């Protein structure tokens, strides 16, 4: 899907809802090889899939807005590539609008409820592409 090259996807949900697990499965489906670490402590983990740069963010421990600039996040979000952001509310004023927002809720240990919303034209196009698959 060519639109992924510039997409921003936010993942919302409580601790343990399955945000990182969903990202791991998505990265595997996109062709990411090797170990896929959680960015909980590093804040961001870069990945490469065939023809696609991917950044997986976890802003759960994000505390200082100056870190956004110091870490180069503005440049990453402005560059081509898929950006996947957990806990985006922690940086809402600094982050560009999400193309797609996913709300994940744990129903029980094995079941999740996921609500997916498109917030941009790119997000709508991506969801329409998924519906056709």
For a pLDDT cut of 90, what percent of the chain falls above it? 62
| CATH, residue 96 | 3.40.50.300
Residue 70 to residues 29, 44, 45, 64, 67: CA-CA distances in angstroms?
32, 13, 16, 10, 5
Residue 1 has pLDDT above 60, yes or no: no
Give the residue, 1 or 129, on which the prediction is more confident. Answer: 129
Q: Show the domain range for 86.
A: 2-132
When pLDDT is cut at 50, 70 and 90, the band that residue 35 belongs to is confident
Residue 14 confidence (pLDDT) above 60: yes
Count structural domains, the chain.
Answer: 1
């Amino acid at each position: 899907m060519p639109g992924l090259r510039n997409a921003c996807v936010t993942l919302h949900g409580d601790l343990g809802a399955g945000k990182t697990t969903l990202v791991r499965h998505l990265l595997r489906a996109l062709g990411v090889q090797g170990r896929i670490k959680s960015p909980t402590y590093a804040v961001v983990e870069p990945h490469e899939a065939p023809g696609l740069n991917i950044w997986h963010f976890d802003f759960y421990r994000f505390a200082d807005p100056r870190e956004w600039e110091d870490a180069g996040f503005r440049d990453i979000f402005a560059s081509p590539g898929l950006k996947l952001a957990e806990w985006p509310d922690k940086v809402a004023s600094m982050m560009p609008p999400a193309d797609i927002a996913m709300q994940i809720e744990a129903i029980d240990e094995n079941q999740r409820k996921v609500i997916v919303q498109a917030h941009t034209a790119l997000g709508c196009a991506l969801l329409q592409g998924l519906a056709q698959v």
